[in-house]
Structure 1
């Protein structure tokens, strides 16, 4: 085989090598997480979620029940709907809105009330807790009485 007949093969190999090098050495995480500005980068607290974070790390200080929830949790939706239907003012802490290290801090607080760290978890200002949506327990904790 002559050198001129191998030239297209060598050119293709060079292009492939450059492509591999490009993908290997490109910068990772060029784009900052959504909802964060430069001042909050690294805290894990999205812009505008500072109050939600405070409720998540100090639930008994808010004076209202705090519900730890996830956007994808159907049991959480049932508990939220129950609280709304019964006129119970509460704070929602969507744990999946946060990134580490804020998420780890919120989860550590949640686990002091619910060691399994499951959702939903409702923490009352006095520290009493309801895990999951068990309507009779929630009614009892909130002093709502029996279902009519």
Structure 2
């Protein structure tokens, strides 16, 4: 009986390993996933600090999100950013900022790469490339 239990436990362990994605595996990620949202917000915050526009930007469209399994996660996020009516330097909730309605507003398409270590509650923006 003990041998049978050990055998079943070994099979169960091996099946769980087979289900887990091996390191380096790239998969599509859901833009609504909480970790994707947190990484996108982190990248957007960095963008808003670096860009010279006096208005804050918001994400108006997700083109794609890829997740690479590397222990934590590497998220390659391709988004559209649009300037809002909200100005920098004021503590505002970005969800209350409406995009500018001007036909000349500078919509940007950006690719961000964010590394995340959720167990440390740590994120790092390792790449940011935008086309205005």
Q: TM-score, normalised by structure 1?
A: 0.29
Report the structure, 1 or 2, having the larger strand content.
Answer: 2
